[in-house]
Amino acid sequence: MLEWVLSSEGVIVGITITLKMTTSPIPLSRFCPIDITTATLSSEVKTLSRGSWLSYRPSTPYVLPDIQRVSGAVLREEPLREVRKDFKTRTSPNLPVLLKVTSDPPLVAKAWNPDDQFQGSISVFNRCLANSNELISISSVSAFYRFIGDKKYKPVKLTEILDGVILPVSIDPCQSRTFNFALTVPRTGPDEKIDERWSGRPSYLIAHHRPLRFKIALTDVEEEECSLVLDYVYPGPKSLPLAFEQDLAFISIDDPFAMYRWGIHVAKGLPGTSENAITIKDFQNFTLDTNRMKTIVYNALQSGESEIDINIGREKDEANFVWWSWKTWALVDLSCQRLYAFKFLLTKDILGTKGFACLAYVACPEYGEFYDETRPIQYAAETVEFPKLEPYIPDTPLPDDDLDDAVPDAPKATAAAITSTSAVANPSAQVAVAEPEELKQRLVSIDNSLTHIGDNLSKLPSIENSLSRLATSFEQFVEILKAKESRGDKDNN
């Protein structure tokens, strides 16, 4: 509405502009002074009434309900224990090789839905002497796995030798060959149903709570086998979402199966928004400015409802890689005519009484203008309740066992010449060991010589007596010669 304003002399001195909005209890009114002779402003525009939505100040502070949550325990971001690297080569006597893990860590997990894949590398060292010409030909590689606590190994789903290596592969004496491999392990039980490919986030699952052991077995062309055990311990989730410094609140649930934290941030006055605007964010920003909050309160007063679904949230949508759900409600105090809190419900994989959820409240900071009058608070009549879920009780993980701790027997030298222990550490230091047939012949010869020496040693006392008698006879013979010589000299005289 426009009204002319006249002076006492009846001259037009300005215009009053009045605007009444449905959501405003009082109109917006402003006076525009004008110079009627030039039709221009003669001074500044004056506000007669603001005409905005005003709230009443609460007579007592709001007390919000405590957070409710059924979630996994706070995710451990460190490994359960250190990866073991102390396992020794196990090999048959006729396959003189030394296996060594060359990848660090020994195994790295990769996501290959619906299975999990583990990659690593080992070297195979031929322990035969350099001059023996004994080649070792690896004709096949297989792998087995078990969880810590299990008593038996099971075959992996798939064993792959990478880098285009085609078996069989021959290894010269005192030389080694490195094999890069990939082992595919099927998911079982609840893990089999999880298919969460999130950009930048690993989704390997089976070893999250229980370390894995793999046994790599290599076979030569004569079906002789050697093996080595490799240990895998989940290193812990990386880059879990955390609260930002500017957050009013960070609401989350920890998923112990996907090993991920799902959460939303609530902040005020972020860059690019107005001072009192509220921003709610998962991987996208949702902003409520002051005008929208006033509109929410007006609609609540019109409908009489005080728990208002403000259509901010996200529904689970596996086709677009959204694996959880969350919704937001505004809680309105109908007495004080203001939005006093936001209510959030986060849910994940709820089926019956199983699943994870979090119900949390965040106080709404002050916004807009207030009447000078205070009123008693009136809490919202809430209808959305926390889902009825069973508590999640995690299993206690077994960090290690001793099934693979037995020290393997050292292989005997029967098939080829092998190096000594020092020669394994330093291939240039070699110790010659005879071939089987030659060794047998030498042992027989040594046995005969020892028997002959024993027989001779048994005859030593009789030999000693004979020598003594011979020495006595020789002495007597010398005395006789001396006597004859003495008589000959006398006759000549």
pLDDT band at 96 (very low <50, low <70, confident <90, very high): very high
pLDDT of residue 463: 56
Tens digit of each residue's pLDDT (9 = 90 or more) over 4-44: 888 888 888 888 888 776 666 677 778 898 988 888 888 88
CATH class of 90-232: mainly beta
Say what the pLDDT of residue 51 is: 62
Q: Left, alpha or beta for 368 (phi > 0: left; psi -120 to 50: alpha)?
A: left
Tell whether the model's pLDDT for residue 435 goes beyond 50.
no
Which of these ranges, 57-66, 373-382, 420-429, 431-440, has the smallest mean pLDDT? 420-429
**Residues 116-139: pLDDT tens digits?**
899 999 999 999 998 888 999 999
Residue from 58, 41, 74 nearest 376 by CA:
58
pTM of the model: 0.69
Query: Is residue 307 scored above 50 in pLDDT?
Result: yes
